[in-house]
Structure 1
Amino acid sequence: MTTHPTDTDAYITIEPYDGPVVVNFHGAIVASTTNALLLKERGYEPVFYIPKDRVEMAFLQANDHRTTCPHKGEARYWSITAEGEAADNAVWAYDTPHEGVAAIAGHVAFDRRHVTIDAG
């Protein structure tokens, strides 16, 4: 487990998730792995980070959207398109995350408002 103390009000932990994780978008399985990471950040819902090599990147379209988190760094985004449906900025990654959260490099996360995540 990695702990990243950021200040007195926030912290981040990252741990391997023990079990399978499947990400579904309108009937299409867009990611499936037994090697997910679970990132917990105080004040936010836990987020699964999936290794990029376990994501069906053909469903994703890179775009120019970027955000910056003071604790993790700069995120870049993708939209998802499958089964005639689309969701903008529904997937993100920190390509060069801050040192304390370096474990999420090479992983992507999915916005739960747009996908179904089954974790066993």
Structure 2
Amino acid sequence: MKTAIFMGIIFYSLTILIHLLIISGIIPFTWVNGGRSESFATQLPLSLISTVISIIGGVFTLIVGRNILNKYKRGITIICWFFVVLWSFGFIQQLFGTPFEKMVCSFILFLGVISNLRMAIEKNAVTIK
């Protein structure tokens, strides 16, 4: 479980870093979103929303790791499975994207899928016992 939490924190940190680099202009906006963003103005809201979702996911991962809401195991398991499905869908999308998405973003998303899958399985096992 500690490894899954560590991987989750790395995943969310790298995701936030990539979006901050996009917002700051260091990574060109044409490298993400499948290259479909017509301008920086259209990419900015997407990067901001992704950053907020990543912050929420990171906080959630820390909560799971600390067992703060231990009495809500079933709800935590459901949220972990939701993230598994969400990041799996994102991983598949990355494979059809730009070379940057295929080489960098898909690896990062795969890390997120694995970490959330492990947390979901672990929390579910704890719930069943």
Shorter chain as normaliser: what TM range? Answer: under 0.3
Higher RCO, 1 vs 2 (CA within 8 Å, ≥6 residues apart): 2
Q: Which structure has more strand as a fraction of its residues?
A: 1
Higher helix share: 2
Query: Normalization by structure 2: what TM-score?
Result: 0.25
